[in-house]
Amino acid sequence: MSISASKDQFVWRGPASGRTPRPFSVKLKEIFIPPKGEKVLPSASGMMLILIGLCLGLAAYNTENNILFAALSLLITMIIMSGFFCWSNIISARWRLETSSTFRVGEDGEVAVVVENARRRFPLFCLLFHLGDETSHEVSDLYLTESVAPGESSRLVWRYRPKKRCVARFRIFETTSSFPFGFLHKHVLGECEVKARIWPARTEYQRLKMIGTGFGWRGASTKAKGSTGELIGLRQYAKGDAPRSIHWKVSARQGTLVVKQHAAESQARYSLVVNPSRYLWPKEEVFEKMCSFVASLAEDLFLAGDLDHCRIVGGVSIKINRVADLSSFLDEVSALVWGSESSDSENLVQSNCVVFSPLDGKSVGAIVNGTTIAKV
């Protein structure tokens, strides 16, 4: 009856997630002795129906009127069917949780439940997934808005905009089936859990002084990614290129977008060193500001090709060559704990090493060789 999941590469959860289909007798037994975490609860209308059934039953027994007994049997059947169908609806469902590769504070990310109907004949109806982020305690209800045909799946998406830098734990707390009448709800534990790192938000910072010819510290920066370095050639525009890198004159001449290609900086590559010690960051909000600043600066330096190493005091130094290296550094930043002490006694002040320090109790400065080059 159920599709075998043996060839699946995904980790499914739910009643039909087993590698081999359970015998019908086991399923039948589970109606009366439900597995741990599963329960059938009446909804408000179900409670009302049960109450009216009791009243009708009392009237039927008092009057011994068969019309009332007929109505009573109808109500009882409604409740029985509601329980049976909501159980049989969910029994062949399985689901998994998917999330965006990266989450960033203040930007939309996707948390999706992929639900599959493991039946061969009947569609899957009306499921409700109650999921959320356990770290930030944000929850959402996802409804299966369309029925799922046998053997097919549906993707339910929760657009999630994180508010805080952290390591989020997304979890399906519970799945509920209320089909067909909604008198009884079958609740099943969601079981799925996915961890995701929420990177700090991009922040605007002020560049204070130009160093060398690399990154080009000229006045205030913007959130838009910039480019720098010596012009070595031109190429066709590709998706993701900064608008400022477009060579408008050549583009106008050729009738297609052409961007400037810059040489990588060779003389001024920087290393970012982040010290999360509490003595340095007495206030948490300043610490969070620093994390956002670090992430933004790291990205900008990487795009400019000026980022050499990144390191969190107490951790390993990450050589930044590819986007994945930067991502792993940002992952570490997302997991930074305010006030974590380290026993790292290494001299932080090295040549072209960017360190971060609070300036006036509120703002954060990026310091290179004793000079504040940027602040936020």
Looking at beta carbons only, is 62 or 343 nearer to other proteins? 62
Q: How far is the CB of 20 from other proteins (least distance, A)?
A: 22
Q: How far is the CB of 158 from other proteins (least distance, A)?
A: 11
d(CA 279, CA 259): 46
Closest CA to 27 of 16, 13, 39, 42: 16
Count Cα neighbours of 194 within 13 Å in the Cβ-side half-sphere.
Answer: 23
Q: How far is the CB of 7 from other proteins (least distance, A)?
A: 13
d(CA 306, CA 293): 16
Looking at beta carbons only, is 130 or 262 nearer to other proteins? 130
Q: How far is the CB of 181 from other proteins (least distance, A)?
A: 4
Q: How far is the CB of 1 from other proteins (least distance, A)?
A: 16
Looking at beta carbons only, is 184 or 364 nearer to other proteins? 184
Looking at beta carbons only, is 84 or 217 nearer to other proteins? 84
Contact 184, 82 (CB under 8 A): yes
Looking at beta carbons only, is 108 or 285 nearer to other proteins? 108
Looking at beta carbons only, is 129 or 199 nearer to other proteins? 129
Looking at beta carbons only, is 125 or 199 nearer to other proteins? 125
Looking at beta carbons only, is 121 or 137 nearer to other proteins? 121
Q: Crossing angle, helix 66-90 and helix 44-63, to 10 degrees?
A: 150
* DSSP-assigned letters across all residues of 165-223: -EEEEEEEEEEEE-TTTSSEEEEEE---EEEEEEEPPP---EE----TTTT---SB--S
Looking at beta carbons only, is 88 or 135 nearer to other proteins? 88
Using a 10 angstrom Cβ sphere, with 0-12 exposed, 13-18 middle and 19 or more buried, the burial of residue 232 is: exposed
Q: How far is the CB of 266 from other proteins (least distance, A)?
A: 48
Contact positions vs other proteins (CB under 8 A)? 44-45, 48-49, 52, 56, 61-62, 64-65, 67-78, 80-81, 85, 114, 122-123, 125-128, 141, 143-149, 152-155, 178-183
d(CA 14, CA 290): 42
Cα dihedral 344, 349, 354, 359 in deg (nearest 10): 90
d(CA 212, CA 267): 8
Closest CA to 81 of 181, 187, 185, 188: 181
Q: How far is the CB of 18 from other proteins (least distance, A)?
A: 21
Closest CA to 279 of 365, 357, 367: 357
Where is 71: in which H helix or E strand? helix 66-90
Contact 270, 301 (CB under 8 A): yes
Q: How far is the CB of 179 from other proteins (least distance, A)?
A: 6
Q: How far is the CB of 237 from other proteins (least distance, A)?
A: 30
Cis peptide before 180 (omega within 30 of 0): yes
Q: Kindly state the tokens that stand for 139.
A: 């929850």
